[in-house]
Structure 1
Amino acid sequence: MEFFNNSVFLGVMLSLLAYGIGALLKQRFKLAIFNPLLIAVIIVIAVLAVSGIDYKVYNEGAKYISYLLTPATICLAIPLYEQFELLKSNWKAIAVGIFSGVLASLGSILAMAVLFGFTHQEYVSFLPKSITTAIGMGISEELGGYVSITVAIIVLTGVLGNMCAESVCKLFKIEEPIAKGIAIGTASHAIGTSKAMELGDIEGAMSSLSIVVSGLITVIGASVFAQFM
């Protein structure tokens, strides 16, 4: 236990091992419930709870993985560049789709906050739920929310989007690749985009675009909606 508490790489090793187990389960059973990120979160929580290792000790190593978040997000520009002509020919529909998605996200949080009687801090913590963590943390902190809750909600939203995206598209008979990509990216940021990329190149490109645009719109929209409570 002393070795683990003093190890700088504990967080990295545990995170990668947990995600690897999740990836193997997903490959073996082919079920949406075996999302690698979801499995990794469950395993890490279980290990920390059983072993008694403090979260701060774990995070000392795990935080280095977070440094890869920004360059990984930037790399999503590659499939967008490859579908640039398609973007230009459909930019009006894409713009309306992303704006509608952001408005629906913010509006649903406002409705939920009123229904369940959230405090202002709790309310603003939930507003950035559908955008990438790098932007969402900044919004939550600026508006006075609980950043730790914001991060957890963003991850949960992405995981659920990744798990449910394909089924929801089938349920509502959404077959247009552009529509699929816009919906997934706007609702569940980078984690959902990984599912969009599995569905096709166009879906992945449009989802990548949605991450950036919806993030920028949410920066403004969250500030406006924060005044409602």
Structure 2
Amino acid sequence: MVWMLPLTIIVFFLIRRLAIKIKSTLFNPLVISTIVLIPILLLTGTSYPDYFHNVRWINDLLPYSVVALAYPLYEMLPQIKSRWKSILFITFIASLSSMISGVCIAFWLGANTEIAASLLPKSVTTAIAVTVAENQGGVPSITALTVILVGILGALFGHQLLNLFKIKSAAARGLAMGSTSHVLGTARCIEVSYHEGAYSSLALVLCGIMTSLTAPFLFPIIVMLHSWL
């Protein structure tokens, strides 16, 4: 199974080089690499637990990559200081909207409380989302999958949606992407614009903090209102 790690790295970097040449938001390296790797694992009879065990150090690098996003924040600190009130308000509303929408849609589709709790922190990074969901009685695996899907969708279609609504401000675009599609959306922002990446990094961090602080109070209220309706 020693071939799994080098194969994953080689596939990703090859797809990454192709993505630079193609320059299409739909040709996302993470998505395309996954599409390429799945048939290989199926053909070789490799189970997902075996694959994950052999490439786990890549997953372990995720927290460090999040910390590395602080560098663009440092360079943009003067601009951020001048807008800190607006930034806090925007990320707070974004955090609440994300949690409320996820839970309400889950209940509307007939999901139980466990599934709703799993979808509660869908727009923050995995490490925070899993902990928040577990504390509210959610299923960590469902939360992790939802976070990944939200991030991929944001990275693929976020900028197209922003362009459709003619939102041109780097601050607005970055805050929107970071608030809704966490690390994957932020990575996409950095590719598009350094300023967008900085604001997206800030939104990613702030929404993670706000979600972890407000979720224990917000979720019981939503569940209570749902039981009354």
Query: Normalising to structure 1: TM-score of the pair?
Result: 0.90
Asked whether 1:161 is paired with 2:151, we answer: no
Q: Counterpart of 2:54?
A: 61
Q: Counterpart of 2:206?
A: 213
How has the CA–CA distance of structure 1 residues 28 and 191 changed in structure 2, closer, same or farther, with 3 Å as cutoff? same
Q: Distance in 1 between matches of 2:55 and 2:106?
A: 32
Q: Counterpart of 1:136?
A: 129
SS at match of 1:85: helix
Q: Distance in 1 between matches of 2:7 and 2:116?
A: 32
Residue among 118, 121, 125 paired with 2:111: 118
Deviation at 1:21, TM superposition (A): 3.7
Residue among 177, 187, 197 paired with 1:184: 177
Q: Distance in 2 between matches of 1:157 and 1:221?
A: 20
Task: Decide whether the 8 Å contact of 1:159 with 1:191 is kept in 2.
Answer: yes
Deviation at 1:144, TM superposition (A): 2.2
Task: Decide whether the 8 Å contact of 2:115 with 2:139 is kept in 1.
Answer: yes
Asked whether 1:226 is paired with 2:219, we answer: yes
Q: Distance in 1 between matches of 2:217 and 2:49?
A: 35
* Identical aligned residues as a percent: 34
Task: Decide whether the 8 Å contact of 1:18 with 1:39 is kept in 2.
Answer: no
Task: Decide whether the 8 Å contact of 1:137 with 1:147 is kept in 2.
Answer: yes
Q: Counterpart of 1:72?
A: 65
How has the CA–CA distance of structure 1 residues 44 and 221 changed in structure 2, closer, same or farther, with 3 Å as cutoff? farther
Deviations 1:63-106 (A, max 9, x none): 11111111111111110010101011111111111112111111
Q: Counterpart of 1:108?
A: 101
Please identify, of 105-114 and 178-187, the stretch whose mean Cα deviation from structure 2 is larger: 105-114
Q: Distance in 2 between matches of 1:72 and 1:144?
A: 28
Task: Decide whether the 8 Å contact of 2:132 with 2:212 is kept in 1.
Answer: yes
Deviation at 1:201, TM superposition (A): 2.2
Query: Normalising to structure 2: TM-score of the pair?
Result: 0.90
How has the CA–CA distance of structure 1 residues 140 and 22 changed in structure 2, closer, same or farther, with 3 Å as cutoff? farther
Which amino acid counterpart does residue 114 of structure 1 have in structure 2?
F
Which amino acid counterpart does residue 149 of structure 2 have in structure 1?
L
